[in-house]
A and B are shown apart, each in its own frame.
Chain A
């Protein structure tokens, strides 16, 4: 094998391991070495342990030597610091969970473990996944590998940056309002948010339970599909998972060469004031590429799109205000020493949570509180119905929807931290997919003149993951954007 083991994609690594061209220990060591070297510049990881990762890798190598031929045996993957891995820290990027060791595996982790994957590192996230820049993490901001003065997006900015910077061939992430797709777009990698209920949330530290969904970030649609395939499906521990069978989408994804026979919708609401002209240009070029691949492009309407952010910033904080109530210093995590219980609660939560979390918990508490519930929460639930209806109508006219993932390329670190509303507006193209509970894919579709990546958004109907992935795969078959890699950032260790 070449010296650049870290360049191997997820399935390439699986293939190299199967052919015994490389051992999991060599591969994992290469990624750990590279992580040690680049992390001072990127800050994409919250935790990694050479001992823990190599123990997993060696066990995989031993199993393979014993004849174990599981296709993903020994393949390394990074895990967002929101997902519980038994025996490892899991802090959700928050001081309130510093020191917490997860006593159980999330279902997605158990499934990857059963497939033989090696957990190489834990990736940075906005605190409790609340943010679009990974700046709200208690570990400090992650840097975009394409320009370390810029954010990698968020909340799964650590996963996207680590995959882009070749610290891992793939990573697990989560998406509540765009937290997989937006950082994937900002970092020039592929991110996939499956349909709500397709992937178990058990063991994924909750932000907004009716919107959260776990998915992969990888360097190609095929790699993302391979991870998705392992983690998807009914889970008796998550009552919201669907009992629909998960078909094997990999043959379809691998065979995707064109888009003939598909009708792809282009919502006029996605090309409006506020969309960066460069991003618009790249998105339109990508749409033309899809047309060239044989797709019929049709206009569709999503008339309630513009209400998505307001709706989301009521419902998500409301659910979060309850989900985060458990961080009280009683059973685990940070506790502020106090004489009485009430003071302990108030000081623990004041000291343990960062500013964005406090903002959202207060907002969510308010919109549910007596006297305001109907005006905010109930009304937002109704608007959610309208937004879902928009997509149902649109999908009666087309197979999938195309559009931009983000209104702008990656912005500068610190640029939006003082103005939450401006930060929230960055979710304009992604939140509606969560509100509608459908699936969305972000694939790299070119670079701005500043050299910053942009993403094409492929939105599929509920439980049509294979369709969204197939469209993305055909696009990647015809383009090279997803193969571009950033130069190693300055500021790393020599």
Chain B
């Protein structure tokens, strides 16, 4: 299982992507992740050597189809249970710090 690194791996901007994923990174963390992710991308970049023209994408893993339910209501959790794990709740609502657009 020798590892090959492709020469021209797309370089990812770790900070930008972490931002999309809403994760703050320390400088040290960002630097380490950048290196590791470059390695991983170089490795998974191996797929680019494969000819996939004319191959359909597997967009469904299950053999099930439709799997819908009838429009019949059922009991849920109840408010107290729903809120029991909330870090902050008030007036029966989940509370978060103010949204700044």
Residues of B with C-beta under 8 A to A100: 85
Task: Given A330-B94, A358-B33, decide whether A321 and B58 contact each other with a Cβ distance below 8 A.
Answer: no
The segment from A21-29, A240-248, A395-403, A466-474 found at the interface with B is A240-248
Q: CB within 8 A of B37: which of A340, A359, A380?
A: A359
Residues of A with C-beta under 8 A to B58: 381-382, 384-385, 388
Interface residues of A in 198-244 (CB under 8 A from B): 210-211, 236, 239-243
The CA-CA distance from A453 to B10 in the complex, in Å, is 40
Residues of B with C-beta under 8 A to A428: 1
Q: Does A379 sit within 8 A of B, measured CB to CB? A: yes
Task: Given A103-B77, A314-B44, A362-B17, decide whether A236 and B56 contact each other with a Cβ distance below 8 A.
Answer: no
Q: CB within 8 A of B63: which of A242, A328, A366, A386?
A: A242
Residue pair A274, B23 in contact (C-beta under 8 Å): no
Task: Given A307-B50, A362-B21, A376-B44, decide whether A103 and B59 contact each other with a Cβ distance below 8 A.
Answer: no
Residue pair B61, A236 in contact (C-beta under 8 Å): no
Q: Number of residue pairs across A and B with beta carbons under 8 Å?
A: 192
Q: Does A297 sit within 8 A of B, measured CB to CB? A: no
What is the CB-to-nearest-CB distance from B19 to chain A, in angstroms, rounded to a whole number?
Answer: 8
Interface residues of A in 303-354 (CB under 8 A from B): 304, 307, 309-311, 313-314, 321, 325, 328-335, 338-347, 349-350, 353
Residue pair B52, A340 in contact (C-beta under 8 Å): no
Interface string of A30-44 (1 = CB under 8 A from B): 000000000000000
Interface residues of B in 29-54 (CB under 8 A from A): 29, 33, 36-37, 39-41, 43-48, 50, 52
The CA-CA distance from A344 to B81 in the complex, in Å, is 24
Residue pair A341, B96 in contact (C-beta under 8 Å): yes
The CA-CA distance from A104 to B17 in the complex, in Å, is 34
Q: Does A249 sit within 8 A of B, measured CB to CB? A: no
Task: Given A101-B85, A197-B62, decide whether A383 and B44 contact each other with a Cβ distance below 8 A.
Answer: no
What is the CB-to-nearest-CB distance from A324 to chain B, in angstroms, rounded to a whole number?
Answer: 9
What is the CB-to-nearest-CB distance from A50 to chain B, in angstroms, rounded to a whole number?
Answer: 24
Residue pair A349, B21 in contact (C-beta under 8 Å): yes
Q: Does A421 sit within 8 A of B, measured CB to CB? A: yes
What is the CB-to-nearest-CB distance from B91 to chain A, in angstroms, rounded to a whole number?
Answer: 16
Interface residues of A in 350-408 (CB under 8 A from B): 350, 353, 355, 358-359, 361-363, 365-367, 369, 372, 375-376, 378-386, 388, 407
Residue pair B52, A382 in contact (C-beta under 8 Å): yes
Residues of B with C-beta under 8 A to A362: 12, 14, 17-18, 21, 23, 33, 37
What is the CB-to-nearest-CB distance from B45 to chain A, in angstroms, rounded to a whole number?
Answer: 8
Residue pair B22, A345 in contact (C-beta under 8 Å): yes
Residue pair A381, B59 in contact (C-beta under 8 Å): yes
What is the CB-to-nearest-CB distance from B65 to chain A, in angstroms, rounded to a whole number?
Answer: 10
Residue pair A350, B24 in contact (C-beta under 8 Å): yes
Residue pair B17, A366 in contact (C-beta under 8 Å): yes
Residues of B with C-beta under 8 A to A310: 43-47
The CA-CA distance from A350 to B28 in the complex, in Å, is 13
The CA-CA distance from A358 to B61 in the complex, in Å, is 25
Residue pair A344, B97 in contact (C-beta under 8 Å): yes
Q: Does A272 sit within 8 A of B, measured CB to CB? A: yes
The CA-CA distance from A421 to B39 in the complex, in Å, is 7
Interface string of A1-20 (1 = CB under 8 A from B): 00000000000000000000
Interface string of B78-99 (1 = CB under 8 A from A): 0001101111100000101111
The CA-CA distance from A298 to B64 in the complex, in Å, is 32
What is the CB-to-nearest-CB distance from A67 to chain B, in angstroms, rounded to a whole number?
Answer: 31
Residue pair B1, A382 in contact (C-beta under 8 Å): no
The CA-CA distance from A170 to B65 in the complex, in Å, is 33
Task: Given A104-B77, A339-B97, A428-B1, decide whether A383 and B52 contact each other with a Cβ distance below 8 A.
Answer: yes
Residues of A with C-beta under 8 A to B61: 196-197, 210-211, 240, 437
Residues of B with C-beta under 8 A to A333: 85, 87
The CA-CA distance from A381 to B63 in the complex, in Å, is 16
Q: Which residue of A lies closest to B83 (CB)?
A: A331
What is the CB-to-nearest-CB distance from A345 to chain B, in angstroms, rounded to a whole number?
Answer: 4
Task: Given A310-B43, A332-B86, A369-B17, decide whether A239 and B23 contact each other with a Cβ distance below 8 A.
Answer: no
The CA-CA distance from A292 to B48 in the complex, in Å, is 43
Residues of A with C-beta under 8 A to B29: 355, 358
Residue pair A420, B56 in contact (C-beta under 8 Å): no
Residue pair B1, A407 in contact (C-beta under 8 Å): yes
Max chain A Cβ within 10 angstroms of own Cβ: one of B12, B58, B63? B58
Q: CB within 8 A of A273: which of B1, B22, B50?
A: B1
Residues of A with C-beta under 8 A to B22: 325, 328, 342, 345-346, 349
Q: Which 5 A-B pairs have the closest CB atoms?
A: A274-B1, A332-B85, A381-B57, A239-B67, A240-B62
Complex A-B: 25 CB contacts under 8 Å: A197-B62, A239-B62, A239-B68, A272-B1, A332-B85, A340-B97, A340-B98, A344-B96, A346-B19, A349-B24, A350-B23, A350-B25, A358-B29, A359-B40, A362-B23, A362-B37, A363-B40, A369-B17, A375-B48, A381-B59, A383-B47, A384-B58, A421-B39, A421-B43, A437-B62
Partner-A contacts on B (CB < 8 A): 1-3, 10, 12, 14, 17-25, 29, 33, 36-37, 39-41, 43-48, 50, 52, 55-64, 67-69, 77, 81-82, 84-88, 94, 96-100
9 additional A-B residue pairs with CB within 8 Å, beyond A361-B21, A420-B40: A196-B61, A210-B60, A274-B1, A338-B97, A340-B98, A343-B97, A346-B24, A381-B58, A437-B61
